[in-house]
Structure 1
Amino acid sequence: ELTLMQTDLQILREAGLKCVLRFAYTDDMNGTDAPLAIVEQHLDQLKPIFEANKDVIAFVQAGFIGAWGEWHSSSNNLSTTENQKKVLFKLLSVLSTEIMVQVRTPAMKQNIFNTTQPLTADVAYSAENQARVGHHNDCFMSGGTNYGTYSNVEAEKNYISSEALYVPTGGETCPPQSGYDPTCPEGRTEMQLLKWTYLNLDYYQPTVNAWKNSGCFDEFNRYLGYRLALVSAELSKEATTSAEYQVKISLTNKGYAPLYNYKNTLLVLKNKDSGTAYEVPLAVDVRACKPNGTLTIAESVKFTGIPAGNYNLYLKIADQSETLKNRPEYAVRLANTDTWVEEEGLNNLNHELQITTP
């Protein structure tokens, strides 16, 4: 099975995709999961797979416990907070610290970490376990408590809304309860509040199809996750090979969520005559561009080693992985028209620069 999994992940990589992983022992409410010792043994066996494929793993749902790995109906008493914590911490320990894990309900995270306070900026993106745990809701848009996802609905939704500035939320819909109607306005409001970053289209089909028929599905598809756009770029038209060059670029995020995985951001200079490209790293962390917010990149850079000449300027927001950083499929495309250079994964700043030797 591990060989099959590695084959699938390699196919995923070749296709230019990433995955949200979840492991489960049964898809039957009356089925059996595994004892804790076996879960831990399996996680040890999975560790090399996780490490070899961390570049194409977007997030991991905690899984393993109960039917569908949704952390209920465990046949081995794994649904207690104590055992949930053991499974979660073991999973976190075998994953690279850059990979975030999602748990099934907000109360589960609150109970495991013994706090109802959401993540704050000073802890976010660190290697601490709490900073690596987000949320998945597999009965999204079903009304009421979303089949027990929430116990204190308003408070826990606000908790997730705050947490989702730093950790991911996503999942799938469920059959609506008690006459609830998951209309387009309801879906939009919930996705914006909870900073929804992905949605499983396979379930629940009637809700997804209703959005398609009502005309809002394409909107949701565009705004799920981050949607960065260039606001402005203030760049001089002249520079020298030795002096500092001031970069001021403003981005906005029109999406429902921020980015959660670190990206390498670079200013790219492409020589107009030779076509040779030069990359100048920027220190900015674009995860700081939150929904409905603006992020200004204001940095001084030097063009050491770049020959004098005339250049076109581009912004590159690339995957942090060595294996994917030069793959255009994994670069961030800004939501502006006529700026994307698809074959190179670059965003055209529509700016020309002349570099001279002092």
Structure 2
Amino acid sequence: MRTNWLITFALTLLLTSLPALTEGAGKNMITYEPAPIEDVLLNPYMGLAPDSRNESYDQEPTLVYANISWRMLEPEKGDYQFEQVEKELLLDKWADKGAKFILRIIMDSPEEKTHLNIPDWLYRELNGDGEWYENSYGKGFSPNYSNPLLISYHQKLIEKLGEHYKNDSRLAFVELGSIGHWGEWHTNTSIPFPKLAITDQYVQPYLDHFPDSILMMRRPHPIAKKYRLGLFNDVFGNKEQTAEYKSWFDKGYVSWLTKERMPAMPDFWKVAPSGGEFSPSKPLKRYFSASSIDDMIAQAQSTHLSWIGPNTPAAFPAKGAQQKYLNRFLNTLGYRFVANKETHEQEVVAGSRLDVHMELANNGVAPFYFPWVLELSLADADGNIVAKTATNEDIRKWLPGKTVSTPTLEIPADLPAGEYTLCIAILDPQTEEPGIQWAMKGKREDLRYSLGKVIVHTP
């Protein structure tokens, strides 16, 4: 009986104490819930990627597309015209506007007139090994991609390309073109398309000479799966062909060109981007109408699209008839970060640390693919940043949907007592300054975002 009485007394004491403990802990916590916004965010590495050769577009891009033919780059054997090519592609002008470029090398681009996209010297050394064609795509010359001399010279070309661009801060992504009409890894000629043993020899130089760049292929290949490359869909907007593209990476497929089995890559978009361009099967304006926009958004969601170009609606007039549909589309692409709720201690002591709990959401369809830094900071009453910490949060893991982050801000020991504002930002490592907009209110001029208040006491 005495034992039962002691147990009952202990339980009663514990239960009557719990509300007081909970209340006491809650008194020093503050929760802030930023209001979301629906604005189109001009953020890096996502959105529209129009042709770089135009100086401006009504829709402001953060990416541009740079197609470079071998003929442009090496008109004479061993003479690489990078300066002239970049001038023609306006790469510096776009960089001044904050836009990075997507690179693709082309050997064969069908056009209205007969022409060569490889240099004359290379054509002569190959003894014309290839096929002059005229088909539904247009006219041009398709080299024989199985020619060992072509493979050797291509390896040298990509080596030089890597030396020039692999550490270029203007470069966003590298598409593995090189092979096929428009560098799209298919041909419509009588020469058999090469099997994997050959095409892998066109991929390997990119892997060797762009070791830290994000590479993308037109469709899944074993080598793309092995090295976790991105993919691109150059018939986006065509419902049937985009469904086929999705089936390729979801389930794998048998190549209609070589009859070889290609692997599924269902999760490729989690580590490397999905890109592409609009199908030329109909005018761009028809993709952005009341009857089409829901399908465009559904295609972007199902393929986790981050960017689209060069056939893209960047030339649509600002605030024109298609703008509201284009805005909905742009708000779907890529990543779109918001802090739904942020909680921290309301009062801390200088020299200690502030533990922050954030319920975040990525309301886009893809993650951010670069190891940029999540920063916490404190702003004083005048808005000056007086303390900041670069956290070890890996923002590349913020997949679409909700996530939780628990970073810590170090409070300087000499910070004067007073009330401060907690701020959050994502830093561009090239500038060490905030570089990404969030889909919420509270944006400061320096691209940091204000969260809750913090009272700092001196020890």
Superposition TM-score, scaled by structure 1 size? 0.78
- Correspondence for 1:31: 141
Alpha-carbon shift at residue 2 of structure 1 (Å): 1.3
Larger radius of gyration: 2
- Correspondence for 1:112: 223
Give the partner amino acid of 1:248: H
- How far apart, CA to CA, are the structure 2 residues paired with 1:273 and 1:340? 15
1:227 aligns with 2:341: no
Change (3 A) 1:83 1:279: farther
**Would you say how many aligned residue pairs link Structure 1 and Structure 2?**
324
Residue 173 of structure 1 is aligned with which of 275, 278, 283?
278
Residue 340 of structure 1 is aligned with which of 417, 428, 443?
443
SS at match of 1:252: strand
**C-alpha contact (below 8 Å) 2:242/2:299 kept by paired residues:** no
**C-alpha contact (below 8 Å) 1:237/1:354 kept by paired residues:** yes
- How far apart, CA to CA, are the structure 1 residues paired with 2:397 and 2:357? 16
Give the partner amino acid of 2:431: L
**C-alpha contact (below 8 Å) 1:271/1:312 kept by paired residues:** yes
Residue 269 of structure 1 is aligned with which of 378, 397, 400?
378
SS at match of 1:216: helix
Residue 268 of structure 2 is aligned with which of 163, 167, 174?
163
- How far apart, CA to CA, are the structure 2 residues paired with 1:50 and 1:77? 32
- Which digits, 9 at most, give the CA deviation of each residue in 1:159-202, with x for residues without a partner? 5552212221011121449xxx9632322222111111111263
- Correspondence for 1:14: 96
1:240 aligns with 2:336: no
**C-alpha contact (below 8 Å) 1:161/1:193 kept by paired residues:** no
Change (3 A) 1:52 1:151: closer
1:144 aligns with 2:240: yes
Alpha-carbon shift at residue 152 of structure 1 (Å): 5.4
- How far apart, CA to CA, are the structure 1 residues paired with 2:249 and 2:382? 60
1:91 aligns with 2:206: yes
- Correspondence for 1:357: 458
SS at match of 1:335: coil
1:72 aligns with 2:186: yes
Change (3 A) 1:334 1:176: same
Alpha-carbon shift at residue 237 of structure 1 (Å): 2.3
**C-alpha contact (below 8 Å) 2:250/2:266 kept by paired residues:** no
Alpha-carbon shift at residue 318 of structure 1 (Å): 1.5
Alpha-carbon shift at residue 155 of structure 1 (Å): 2.8
- Correspondence for 2:30: none
Q: 1 or 2 for the larger relative contact order (CA 8 Å, sep ≥6)?
A: 2
- How far apart, CA to CA, are the structure 1 residues paired with 2:250 and 2:355? 45
- Correspondence for 2:44: none
**C-alpha contact (below 8 Å) 1:82/1:112 kept by paired residues:** no
Alpha-carbon shift at residue 298 of structure 1 (Å): 0.9
1:184 aligns with 2:293: yes
- How far apart, CA to CA, are the structure 1 residues paired with 2:413 and 2:178? 52
- How far apart, CA to CA, are the structure 2 residues paired with 1:195 and 1:218? 17
- How far apart, CA to CA, are the structure 2 residues paired with 1:274 and 1:174? 48
Unpaired runs of at least 5, structure 2: 1-80, 111-138, 254-262, 315-319
**C-alpha contact (below 8 Å) 2:249/2:265 kept by paired residues:** no
**C-alpha contact (below 8 Å) 2:231/2:275 kept by paired residues:** yes
- How far apart, CA to CA, are the structure 1 residues paired with 2:248 and 2:383? 62
Change (3 A) 1:154 1:264: closer
Give the partner amino acid of 1:2: F
Alpha-carbon shift at residue 102 of structure 1 (Å): 0.8
